[in-house]
Structure 1
């Protein structure tokens, strides 16, 4: 049941907390926040997911996007979705067990996923998964509460996925898939997809404040109360942060969520509004030689005016209904997004007088939705489901690239208006043939249309493309608490449509440029095994392969198209979850990937920035009142920085820890220690030419790195009422 506090008191708590810009946290352990329970209809699937080691949280209401997160698509969980060894569901409580530096890092709860940052705190994270440097989201599809986070034809990079608006304490569940094997996953999902759903209600209202090193302050309040036949949930967040940088980040962030929901996980609806705004300074990657020569320190910058601002405002709704034929679901959203980003990566390489800083502007309105129906039936007396679905999305975009000095405009490289629309239709058939055999067979068809109006007339134009991909899955078992999986599917990512229609270099219109394909196909396959023969221990092993076709990529930093080559990745992923006791849990994951260009070129066959080894380990303890804690190690190994492997990055290993105490009266206190060993590692490393004052006109090829922040502490005080 909800706390007896009135709605007005709850709203006041939110407003009061939002004003406290002098406070802020590490995310609290599971007991600190009571999450909504996964519906009973999803319990069957929990037995076949990676994250099934922990019990569901205390009941407080339905999880958002009913029936999607949790993977069960049938009534009462009669027929679980055919899954894979590398897919699963993570509860919000498990997500909030983790001490993290920034909101996007909660996605590291997904086994094998690394989340870093190479710029200011308001910029999108950088992602690594299965031998991919995914940049800011090119081949990992991320959704929050049914809305896409990846941005098409974005000013800074295709698939740009800014998760800084995420409020981890609101997360109800995280569903993840790896590989292009699942019919609901389309654009950007070749390496994997992550769907994050927010809670509809909380059992007890929450107010917390946190203070930490380097000017970290955060305040958050979450409150819910009955309203009419449903519930109203309100959340507000404010944060400031300077970081250890010589030029402080001066991050300022405001965030809010309001949701009204009615009904259950299979019969109900919700309407949600979100608002997010942030601005910051940025210390970007810096050349090693500048540090070695003493020009700047490890946390210094060569351009103190880099930075940006962004805003995201959305309205979304979801609806579900169960009848005698099955379950129908529908969702829709509209998002207003804007971003201004100032970066300088090469200093005086292009313009030896004014410098190379540039401004990227993105302003758009996007809208779309999804509707699907699951038909319950049988095939010769065997349990069967057929699912059909339709997805749409339209982006109306103004996107620009400008040369600047100290954020002051000098010249326009491009200033384009883009309309980009897509629609997808998917069908899947799922049959349980015997107690030990389940199959899924489906396909997905995607169609794209775009219209570009450029300030360079030769780069205006229209484009159309389409792609159809099969999706196949097979599950054998269980035998002796062991299941075997076989998966196959096709995927794709869309390219920036400006590169699809462009014919000339916007900076030098006399030079022609190569056009990029609109949709770039991928093909993946996987075999896996999951075992639970030891009480409390779930271990999964997957062997995977993913091929990407030859492609050209539009570079948002230059406004031009650059060629790329076909690639093949194959590897092994090993995931372990062990609930030793109800209050003690262990985790350990390892991914080893071989990433190579699959054609011949004398420059080499290594894929730059592709990690060979990713590993993580963790321990969590505590249940209910009393002591709780967590410790997490994440590691990604050295990576080739150029095709012949002659230049490599250093490995990165970071250890974070948390200790805290839950009091009987609802108060909790937690201390997070980030980078506990004070490792002098790098968040990211690149190799490219740049030019410092006095250097040769052609510049110097050098490693450019963004360091891991030094040891930092954050103290969080939270109250539940």
Structure 2
């Protein structure tokens, strides 16, 4: 017994002495060009097997280190890797500041991380560095496998396709900018309508995305996936850009640094940017498209451990468009391929945003985030899809119009702690969003000036409150698990102004969405993952009150089994097999003002993304996606999902040059797909190539971009629609389409100062 006592005493003394000689490293990583903290840098403590990733303030920490000299290897995509020797002293914290310089991208430096496997964004980080965004459509195309189609001349939000979904304008994909929601609930045109044209392309610094409903902090619309566009915190240099191209296309953009280098050293920055665009486009009916954007951003510290990002922006756009045209009108010679049936279609929209983000990292490495946002939004759209089907005299033109105030809050608290060798990050979050619309309208009109009949007219008040818990558990340097659950509550109010007296309709509902994900990292070249989760998209308030709150939050259950693989230092592969099941719902059809049932469906497929560095400056990439989308419970041959893509691929070559020549040659392909439930009408696929060439010097960049290099005649959007042309006795159902751009060249000059 005495021997046991003395042995325990000796062990305690030895343990105490061991801990008495331990120290730690606290570091911060900065972008040397902007002097701003660099989030997401990988920091490896050589020879120990320890690695971590910098947080929101560019900070990292290693504790429990013996007294010795250590080598730190710090890397980030697009920055020169730094190796530092750091001495750890007894009972002391060694503080390290590191400034990283921009450098050529080397795929060999990309590390498959185990530290934050759930959050790593290897493909998106590579693409945004290699393929800078040069126009608003390229913003969405940064997501592998995501296709877009414009069917209103550039002013309307793009139609989106991803993972066997025709997402309309955003129904099943969550889009945000700096965390601020883009999707509009209960929109006059369609649920989830997401117009990204208020983003100035040159200001996009990063694109984070994930396919599927697998993250607890992402709520409404996260079924096919989510995308968050991050704008620049600071400018490397002020710039002025001029563009001119075919079809009377002109654009001017300026971005000016307001504070200068001295305040950057103090981790403060501010800039203002603006763009103006004009084009008549390639349609026979001149588009007379105009767009104005103004954007400002401030970054600074309100305390030692708290930074703030404050942005304000305003956007306005007005245009004419040619609309969708039927095959028979072109084949008969009634109109040209770029012609129109109703030349009075068009629209006008505007959006003003205020967004404030506060991030605090406590001395114990807890992270507190608070975000407040507000948008004032206006929308007016004139369309004619069926021509003279319903009204053989005046035509079937409709007006969709609304005025909206959107405001909300996102907050979270994350804490990090260890249990033995297990590292745990716990996050608790709260989301609040309220949309108030005034005079949301669907009306039958003529010539964009005469109102013939109001079909829907009312005010909407919709509240979404969400709360979530998320646990990221790293059991070892190889194996980690993420488990989370969120609950969303919806309160819907619709004031029907067509009723006399005015009628107020109400409904409420909630949904619970669990998530469970596993990651196993064999080494810095190979990682396997399994993602599972439940997501949802909300339905239009006009559906919710009509259904008394029933079947208005359709569940989506998904799973991904994937691999991230670097078989060679300059080759990166991401592949996944996935499955997604959607519950039955009722849908509000914004073009008709009616509620229609939509049955259960399933989608399954394979995604493949490959990035390969051919030479020091030449990179190749390809994304391939195969999907089988089907309606459940329908007879054989009647279960096709209209317009759902089956085979898509995109890719290209990118030449990277810091000074001198750079550019890209890219393609995108969509295979034939069913346009109706029995596949009797087919939406034809297309193959289109685009190119860009830049010449850069210290003070300026000259650019040439070409869309549709081969001058392919293609249909950008297609629908199986029943319509009647002037003089036809009966309506006819066939493909109606919007033509894609022909060969189109544009020159640009960017001056840096």
- The normalised TM-score by structure 1 is 0.87
Alignment match, 1:109 = 142
Query: 542, 564, 569: which one pairs with 1:498?
Result: 542
Match of 2:274 among 231, 236, 239: 236
Q: What corresponds to 2:207 in structure 1?
A: 174
Q: Tell me the CA shift for residue 501 of structure 1.
A: 1.4
Is the aligned partner of 1:546 residue 2:587?
Answer: no
Residue 112 of structure 2 is aligned to residue 80 of structure 1: no
Deviation at 1:62, TM superposition (A): 12
2:714 to 676, 681, 690: 681
Please name the residue that 2:733 is paired with: 701
**C-alpha separation between the residues in 1 aligned to 2:497 and 2:170?**
28
1:307-346 to structure 2, matched below 5 A, reads 307-323=346-362, 324-346=364-386
Residues 624 and 480 (structure 1), Cα distance of their counterparts in 2 relative to 1, 3 Å cut: closer
> 1:56-95 alignment to 2 at 5 Å?
56=79, 79-83=115-119, 88-89=124-125, 92-95=128-131
Instruction: State yes or no: 1:475 paired with 2:519.
Output: yes
1:104-151 per-residue CA deviation (whole Å, 9 max, x = no partner) reads: 332211110111101121100011100001010000110012211100
1:387 aligned to 2:436?
no
The aligned counterpart of 1:255 is: 293
Superposed displacement of residue 467, structure 1: 0.5
Contact 1:38 1:56 (8 Å CA) reproduced: no
Q: Take 2:236 and 2:624, find their aligned partners in 1: how far apart are those partners?
A: 36
8 A contact 1:283–1:301 mirrored in 2: yes
> Is 1:187–2:220 an aligned residue pair?
yes
CA distance in 2, matches of 1:143, 1:57: 30
Provide, for residues 239-275 of structure 1, a one-character-per-residue CA deviation record: whole Å limited to 9, x for no partner.
1011111111111111011112104997310211100
Q: 1:427 to 1:187 in 2, by over 3 A?
A: same
In structure 1, list runs of 5 or more residues that go unmatched.
Answer: 1-33, 64-76, 504-513
Which residue pairs with 2:702 in the alignment? Answer: 669
Instruction: Give SS of 1:214's match.
Output: coil
Q: Which residue of 1 aligns with 2:459?
A: 417
For residue 373 of structure 1, the aligned residue among 393, 402, 413 is 413
Aligned to 1:28: none
Matched, 1:304 2:343: yes
- Kept in 2: contact 1:39–1:62 (CA 8 A): no
Could you tell which deviates more after superposition, 448-457 or 626-635? Answer: 448-457
Aligned pair 1:447/2:446, yes or no? no
How far apart are the structure 2 equivalents of 1:370 and 1:515? 25
SS in structure 1 opposite 2:329? Answer: helix
Aligned equivalents of 1:404, 1:40: Cα separation in 2: 51
**Mapped partners of 1:89, 1:494: distance in 2:** 30
Kindly indicate whether residue 446 of structure 2 is the aligned counterpart of residue 405 of structure 1.
Answer: yes
The change in CA–CA distance for 1:53 and 1:306 in structure 2 (over 3 A counts) is farther
Highest RCO, 1 vs 2 (Cα 8 Å, sep ≥ 6): 1
**Are the counterparts in 1 of residues 42 and 76 from structure 2 also a CA contact under 8 Å?**
no
Q: CA deviation at 1:300?
A: 0.4
Q: Which residue of 2 aligns with 1:55?
A: 78
C-alpha change, 1:375 and 1:432, in structure 2 (3 Å) is: same
Gaps of 5+ in 2: 1-32, 44-51, 55-74, 83-97, 101-112
Partners of 1:37 and 1:58 within 8 A in 2: no
Matches within 5 A, 1:5-24: none
What corresponds to 1:508 in structure 2? Answer: none
Give the number of equivalent residue pairs. 655
Tell me the equivalent position of 2:108: none
Q: CA deviation at 1:582?
A: 3.8
- Give the 3 Å change call, closer, same or farther, for CA 597–459 of structure 1 in structure 2: farther
Matches of 1:56 and 1:631, distance apart in 2: 24
Q: Which moved more, 1:219-228 or 1:469-478?
A: 219-228
How far apart, CA to CA, are the structure 2 residues paired with 1:166 and 1:57? Answer: 29
1:636-655 mapped onto 2 (5 Å cutoff): 636-655=670-689
Counterpart CA distance in 2 for 1:683 and 1:339 is 24
Q: Does the alignment pair 1:429 with 2:471?
A: yes
3-state SS, counterpart of residue 693 of structure 1: coil
> Residue 497 of structure 2: SS of its match in structure 1?
coil
How far the C-alpha of 1:318 sits from its partner, in A, is 0.4
**2 CA distance for matches of 1:180 and 1:86?**
19
Mapped contact 1:638–1:648 kept (Cα < 8 A):
yes
**Cα drift, residue 530 of structure 1:** 0.8
Shift of 1:43: 3.0
Q: CA 1:384–1:515 in structure 2 vs 1: closer, same or farther (change >3 Å)?
A: closer
Q: Tell me which of 109, 115, 120 is aligned to 2:153.
A: 120
Distance apart, 1:286 and its partner CA: 0.4
Shift of 1:455: 2.2
Partner Cα distance (1:498, 1:36) in 2: 49
Q: 1:36 to 1:206 in 2, by over 3 A?
A: farther
1:169 is paired with a residue whose SS is helix
Taking the aligned partners of 2:491 and 2:80, their CA distance within structure 1 comes to 44
The residue number in structure 2 matching 1:659 is 693
Q: Cα deviation per residue 1:520-574 (whole Å; 9 max; x = unaligned)?
A: 1110001001111211211011000000001111001111111111000000000
Residue 564 of structure 2 is matched in structure 1 by: 530
SS of aligned partner of 1:221 = strand
What is the TM-score of this pair, normalised by structure 2? 0.83
Q: Secondary structure at the match of 1:500?
A: helix
Question: Does the CA contact (< 8 Å) of 2:708 and 2:743 recur in 1?
Answer: yes
1:622, distance to aligned residue in structure 2 (A): 2.8
CA distance in structure 2 between the partners assigned to 1:46 and 1:209 by the alignment: 39
Given the alignment of the two structures, is residue 600 of structure 1 paired with residue 634 of structure 2, yes or no?
Answer: yes
Is contact 1:209–1:718 with CA below 8 Å preserved after alignment? Answer: yes
Q: CA deviation at 1:85?
A: 9.5
Between 254-263 and 340-349, the greater mean CA deviation after superposition? 254-263
Farther off after superposition, 457-466 or 218-227 = 457-466
Question: Which whole-Å CA distance do the structure 2 matches of 1:325 and 1:389 have between them?
Answer: 17
CA–CA separation in structure 1 for the residues paired with 2:407 and 2:222? 19
* Distance (Å, rounded) in 1 between the aligned partners of 2:39 and 2:636: 58
Q: Deviations over 1:420-454 (max 9, x none)?
A: 00111111111111121011111011110011101
Corresponding residue SS for 1:440:
strand
